[in-house]
């Protein structure tokens, strides 16, 4: 079986460094590893509408933003099919068949959906489409025969539901679908980056993000204003690295070369942390290190983004072309699904009424 990747993002704004660390950067590395002959990266606009149905214009605007982030971060149109979910109607047809294979109580138990329902304050007024988005995500994944889905930790329950749907489909009809497995970043710090305010998650609605499109000045201001250890008041005070987002970001982004270049007096990040914990190391010094690392990592991405922004038409044209390619693959799976279910009526046949 050939290795196929499918992954994606909801277009609800520009992507931030949490997306970058947990999924975008690993995706680019997987793309460049050459181990995956087929890679699909989907801009999940229909999924974004499940909780932004009152503002489709914002979703539409974000589609281009996310595509720009993809290209700027290093995804290449020759190696990865970048497409728009709503332009592949086969996905919704598959969803219609899969939705019978899950129960409402199972959907309500999905921990990520549960957390989102609480966060969005849906209470009992949960839009049905929102509750069911894990089913449409199973369609996204299986339509492309994905063997691997690189995602952030919060998406693991979606993968579990997709695997359940694949198995159920196989038991009921025929084993034509592929069970996907998740790929998580092997650096745990990359899997869930906290916000610059120290809150557990970086999220647009919490206003605690560093965006891939942020300018040099914004990055600097955001890093210098980051939440740190509230008990570390004087430089000489002992500090804490757990729950301190400056160190979480260093865990995610700092490589030995960075320390050698910017703070050669420390042989490793562990030594830097030990000094902070002992006392005698100021927040500003640590933040300066982080700022340099982030500027180095994000600078080339921003410059590529600025160049691409000059021709949004070319980006849209690429999305359109890739969406057509994605349709071909999804249509192949859809016809196998219909055949497995015995609803592949010969074309032109009038369905007999008995």
**Could you list the residues that contact ligand TRP (CB under 6 A)?**
6-10, 42, 44, 47, 137, 140-141, 149, 151, 155
Integer Rg of the chain from CA: 22
**Smallest distance, Å, CB 265 to ligand TRP?**
40
Comparison of 287 and 327: residue with beta carbon closer to ligand TRP: 327
**Smallest distance, Å, CB 314 to ligand TRP?**
24
**Smallest distance, Å, CB 103 to ligand TRP?**
21
Hunting for tokens 């919060």 — which residue is that? Answer: 154
**Segment 113-117 long-range contacts (CB within 8 Å, at least 24 positions apart):** 113/157, 115/154, 116/51
**Smallest distance, Å, CB 146 to ligand TRP?**
8
Comparison of 180 and 194: residue with beta carbon closer to ligand TRP: 180
By CB neighbour count within 10 A (0-12 exposed, 13-18 middle, 19+ buried), where does 184 fall? Answer: middle
Comparison of 137 and 228: residue with beta carbon closer to ligand TRP: 137
**Smallest distance, Å, CB 207 to ligand TRP?**
19
Distance CA 258, CA 254 (A): 6
**Smallest distance, Å, CB 192 to ligand TRP?**
13
Comparison of 130 and 247: residue with beta carbon closer to ligand TRP: 130
Comparison of 8 and 145: residue with beta carbon closer to ligand TRP: 8
Comparison of 11 and 245: residue with beta carbon closer to ligand TRP: 11
Compute the residue count for the chain. Answer: 354
Q: Sign of the CA dihedral 99, 103, 106, 110? A: positive
Comparison of 115 and 224: residue with beta carbon closer to ligand TRP: 115
Distance CA 147, CA 237 (A): 50
Query: What are φ and ψ of residue 148, in 5° steps?
Result: -135, 135
**Smallest distance, Å, CB 5 to ligand TRP?**
9
Distances (CA, A) of 66 to 77, 90, 280, 336: 14, 22, 42, 32
Angle at 118 between CA 92 and CA 155, to 5 degrees: 50
Distances (CA, A) of 56 to 11, 43, 354: 11, 14, 44
Could you please report the per-residue DSSP string of 118-155? HHHT-TT---HHHHTHHHHHHHHHHHTT-SEEE--GGG
**Smallest distance, Å, CB 319 to ligand TRP?**
16
Comparison of 17 and 44: residue with beta carbon closer to ligand TRP: 44
**Smallest distance, Å, CB 334 to ligand TRP?**
17
- Indicate the residue whose CB is closest to ligand TRP: 44
For residue 50 the two structure tokens come to 């499940």
Distance CA 334, CA 143 (A): 7
Comparison of 42 and 107: residue with beta carbon closer to ligand TRP: 42
For residue 216 the two structure tokens come to 């040099």
């Amino acid at each position: 079986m050939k290795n196929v990747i499918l992954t994606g993002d909801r277009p609800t704004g520009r992507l931030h460094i949490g997306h970058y660390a947990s999924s975008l950067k690993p995706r680019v590395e997987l793309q460049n590893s050459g181990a995956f002959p087929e890679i699909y990266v989907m801009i999940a606009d229909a999924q974004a509408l499940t909780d932004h149905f009152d503002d489709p214009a914002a979703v539409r605007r974000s589609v281009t933003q996310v595509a720009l982030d993809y290209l700027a971060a290093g995804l290449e149109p020759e190696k990865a099919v970048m497409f728009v979910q709503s332009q592949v109607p086969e996905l919704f047809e598959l969803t219609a068949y899969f939705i019978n294979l899950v129960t409402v109580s199972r959907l309500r138990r999905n921990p990520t959906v549960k957390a989102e329902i609480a966060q969005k304050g849906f209470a009992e007024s949960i839009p049905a489409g929102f509750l069911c988005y894990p089913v449409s995500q199973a369609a996204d994944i299986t339509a492309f025969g994905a063997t691997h889905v690189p995602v952030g930790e919060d998406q693991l329950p979606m993968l579990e539901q997709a695997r359940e749907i694949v198995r159920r489909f196989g038991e009921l009809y025929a084993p034509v679908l592929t069970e996907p497995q998740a790929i998580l970043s092997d650096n745990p710090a990359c899997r869930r980056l906290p916000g610059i305010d120290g809150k557990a998650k970086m999220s647009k609605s919490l206003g605690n993000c560093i965006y891939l499109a942020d300018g040099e000045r914004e990055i600097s201001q955001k890093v210098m204003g980051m939440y740190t250890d509230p008990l570390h008041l004087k430089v000489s005070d002992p500090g804490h690295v757990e729950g301190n987002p400056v160190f979480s970001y260093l865990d995610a982004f700092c490589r030995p070369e960075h320390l050698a270049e910017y703070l050669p007096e420390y042989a490793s990040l562990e030594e830097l942390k030990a000094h902070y914990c002992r006392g005698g190391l100021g927040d500003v010094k640590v933040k300066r290190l982080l700022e340099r690392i982030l500027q180095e990592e994000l600078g080339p991405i921003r410059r590529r983004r600025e160049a691409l922004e000059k021709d949004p038409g070319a980006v849209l044209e690429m999305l359109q072309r890739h969406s057509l390619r994605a349709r071909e693959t999804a249509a192949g799976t859809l016809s196998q699904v219909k055949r497995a279910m015995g609803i592949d009526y010969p074309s032109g046949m009038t369905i007999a009424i008995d």
